[in-house]
């Protein structure tokens, strides 16, 4: 299954100076000759793709932290900039649609930098044959979501591809926001003793999508939790401007988000399984399909790493906000096992929580 591919520039044969190939560097050694679906699931393969193929080509101090967005100084203001693409299928699902997701996604990435989101761009890639009615619904939904989040859509682009070359609609949104003074959110700020807070019950979005996926359908009240988190982040920052880390656990779930932070900050993370909030229904769906909720996507939740002295105050502030009602402390940053996430299980045993390499699939075993 191993494949090693390298490209090297060929020497000139006609006395002309050598024209560089599109990239004079050899393709990094990769186990895969082709992109596979797992490269997009937010787990190990995604990270490897970014770290081995993309990051080395562009690396700079703004990109390297691989946080949800980049924060830089511009004319005295701290500006946050982020981008996100949406390819979800089906495009309409319980609790939302691809448009709503696209607006919330970038709003949330900016919020995870501690920024107030201000301006969004939206680029559409539409598949020939997409029903006009469907596109209209998506656009309407985006308008509503942008209004609710207090952001303006200020620029965009629209392209159409041949039928069969795009899964109905792909959307990219990018955004800018401003970080208020005194706020410095960065994975490197994770410190031993930091309390890990989740804003509410997990795994809702992923399960909502599964429930309408062909071959797995089931009746449920579960809807996607997609929501703009900037308001919640604002009340958290009001309670404690010195939040250390914020991350929204989207694809790859809570595990991906925490593993990334542990890796980037070089710290250990310890979780208590019995403290992790999850609804009965989501639990039921996960049990039935054999899925682990820790790996299932969330679209309206955040994780916060907070200094112990601030934890109680931040938690209290979150709980009076509609998007933080179910907030709970689920773990702590520890000095042991750096770069690793471990968990005390329901029965008092321990396990390591490691990122998956690809998508989690339903199982019978």
Partner 1 sequence: MCLAIPGKVLEIERNAQGLRMGRTNFGGIVKQVCLDYTPEVRVGDYVLVHVGFALSTVDEEEAERTYRLLAEMKQLGEIETPDAELTALATQGSAP
Partner 2 sequence: MKYIDEYRSADLAAKLAAEIRRVVTRPWVLMEVCGGQTHTIVKYGIDYLLPREVELVHGPGCPVCVTSLEMIDKAHAIARRPDVIFCSFGDMLRVPGSDSDLLILKSRGADIRVVYSPIDCLKIARANPGKKVVFFAIGFETTAPANAMSVWQAREQGITNFSVLVSHVLVPPAMEAILQSPNNRVQGLIGPGHVCTVMGCEEYEPIAARYHVPIVVTGFEPLDLLHGVLMTVQQLEAGRAEVENQYPRVVKREGNVAAKDLMQRVFEVCDRKWRGVGNIPQSGYRLRPEFHAHDAERIFQVELIATQESSICISGLVLRGAKKPHDCPAFGKECTPEHPLGATMVSAEGACAAYYAYGRHLQARPATREPELARP
Binding site for partner 1 (CB under 8 A): 211, 218-222, 279-281, 283-285, 287-288, 290, 363-365
Toward partner 1, which CB reaches closer, 119 or 218?
Answer: 218
User: Exposed, middle or buried by CB within 10 Å (0-12, 13-18, 19+), for 42?
Assistant: buried
Number of residues that bind partner 2 (CB under 8 A): 57
Measured from the CB atom, the residue of 288 and 316 that comes closer to partner 1 is 288
Binding of residue 244 to partner 2 (CB under 8 A): no
Angle in degrees, CA 7, 8, 11, rounded to 5: 145
For 10-39, letters b (16+ CB in 10 Å) and e give eeeeeeeeeeeeeeeeeeeebeeeeeeebb
Q: What does the alpha-carbon distance between residue 257 and residue 170 come to, in Å, rounded to a whole number?
A: 24
Q: For residues 95 and 356, what is the distance between their CA atoms, to the nearest angstrom? A: 27
Are 340 and 262 a contacting pair, CB within 8 Å? yes
State the binding partner of 221 from partner 1, partner 2, none, CB within 5 to 8 A by kind: partner 1
Region from 103-111, 138-146, 222-230, 352-360 binding partner 2, contact rule CB under 8 A: 352-360
Contacts to partner 2 from residues 296-325, by CB under 8 A: 308, 311-312, 315-316
Burial of 257 (0-12, 13-18, 19+ CB in 10 A): buried
Residue 16 touches which member of partner 1, partner 2, none, C-beta under 5-8 Å by kind: none
Residues 79-138 that bind partner 2 (CB under 8 A): none
The C-alpha atoms of residue 50 and residue 46 are separated, in whole angstroms, by 6
Tell me: does residue 182 bind partner 2 (CB under 8 A): no
Minimum gap (Å) between residue 144 Cβ and partner 2: 33
Closest distance of CB 221 from partner 1, Å: 7
Instruction: Identify any residues that bridge with 272 across adjacent strands, giving them in sequence order.
Output: 344
Q: What's the min distance (Å) between Cβ of 122 and partner 2?
A: 28
Q: Which residues pair with 334 in a beta bridge?
A: 268
Which residue shows structure tokens 């390499």? 357
The number of residues in the chain equals 365
Taking alpha carbons only, the member of 146, 205, 199, 175 closest to residue 85 is 175
Q: Is 254 in the site for partner 2 (CB under 8 A)?
A: no
Of 195-214, binders to partner 2 (CB under 8 A) are 195, 214
Pick the stretch among 6-14, 79-87, 115-123, 348-356 that binds partner 2 (CB under 8 A).
Answer: 348-356
Q: Say how far apart CA 40 and CA 53 lie, in whole Å.
A: 14
Distance CA 249, CA 294 (A): 10
Toward partner 1, which CB reaches closer, 81 or 295?
295
| Residue 337 binds partner 2, judged by CB under 8 A | yes
Q: Which does 137 bind (CB under 5 to 8 A by kind): partner 2, partner 1, none?
A: none
Q: What is the C-alpha separation between 266 and 260, in angstroms, rounded?
A: 10
Residues 270-286 as b or e (16 or more Cβ within 10 Å = b): bbbbeebbbbeebeebb
356 binds, among partner 1, partner 2, none (CB under 5 to 8 A by kind): partner 2
Judged by CB under 8 A, the residue of 233, 289, 297, 302 near partner 2 is 289
Q: Binding residue for partner 2 (CB under 8 A) from 45, 98, 222, 257?
A: 45
Residue 349 lies near partner 2 (rule: CB under 8 A): yes
274 sits near partner 2 (criterion: CB under 8 A):
yes
Q: How many CB atoms neighbour CB 139 within 10 A?
A: 14
- Least distance to partner 1, CB of residue 211, Å: 7
Contact footprint for partner 2 (CB under 8 A): 1-2, 31, 34, 36-38, 44-45, 195, 214-216, 270, 272, 274-275, 280, 283-284, 287, 289-290, 292, 308, 311-312, 315-316, 329-332, 334, 336-337, 340, 342, 344-354, 356-358, 361-365
């Amino acid at each position: 299954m191993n494949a090693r591919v390298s490209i090297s520039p060929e020497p000139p044969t006609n006395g002309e100076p050598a024209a560089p190939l599109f990239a004079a560097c050899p393709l990094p050694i990769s186990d895969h000759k082709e992109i596979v679906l797992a490269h997009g699931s937010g787990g190990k393969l995604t990270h490897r793709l970014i770290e081995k193929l993309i990051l080395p080509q562009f690396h700079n101090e703004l990109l390297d932290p691989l946080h949800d967005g980049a924060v830089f100084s511009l004319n005295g203001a701290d500006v946050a900039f982020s981008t996100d693409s949406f390819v979800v299928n089906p495009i309409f699902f319980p609790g939302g649609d691809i448009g709503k997701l696209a607006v919330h996604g970038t709003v949330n990435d900016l919020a995870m930098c501690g920024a107030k989101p201000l301006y969004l761009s939206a680029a559409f890639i539409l598949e020939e044959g997409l029903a006009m009615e469907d596109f209209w619904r998506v656009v309407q939904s985006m308008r509503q979501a942008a209004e609710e989040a207090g952001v303006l859509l200020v620029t965009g682009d629209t392209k159409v591809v041949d039928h069969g070359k795009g899964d109905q609609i792909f959307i990219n949104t990018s955004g800018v926001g401003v970080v208020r003074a005194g706020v410095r959110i960065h994975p490197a700020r994770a410190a031993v003793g930091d309390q890990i807070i989740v804003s509410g019950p997990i795994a809702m979005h992923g399960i909502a999508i599964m429930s309408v996926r062909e071959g797995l359908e089931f009746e449920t009240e579960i809807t996607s939790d997609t929501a703009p988190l900037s308001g919640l982040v604002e009340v958290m920052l009001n309670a404690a401007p010195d939040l250390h880390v914020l991350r929204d656990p989207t694809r790859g779930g809570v595990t991906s988000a925490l593993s990334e932070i542990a890796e980037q900050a070089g710290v250990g993370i310890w979780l208590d399984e019995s403290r992790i909030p999850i609804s009965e229904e989501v639990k039921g769906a996960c049990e039935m399909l054999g899925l682990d909720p820790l790996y299932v996507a969330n679209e309206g939740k955040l994780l916060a790493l907070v200094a112990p002295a601030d934890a109680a105050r931040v938690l209290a502030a979150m709980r009076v906000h509609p998007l933080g009602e179910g907030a709970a402390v689920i773990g702590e940053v520890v000095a042991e096992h750096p770069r690793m996430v471990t968990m005390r299980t329901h029965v008092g045993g321990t396990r390591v929580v490691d990122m998956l390499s690809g998508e989690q699939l339903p199982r019978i075993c």
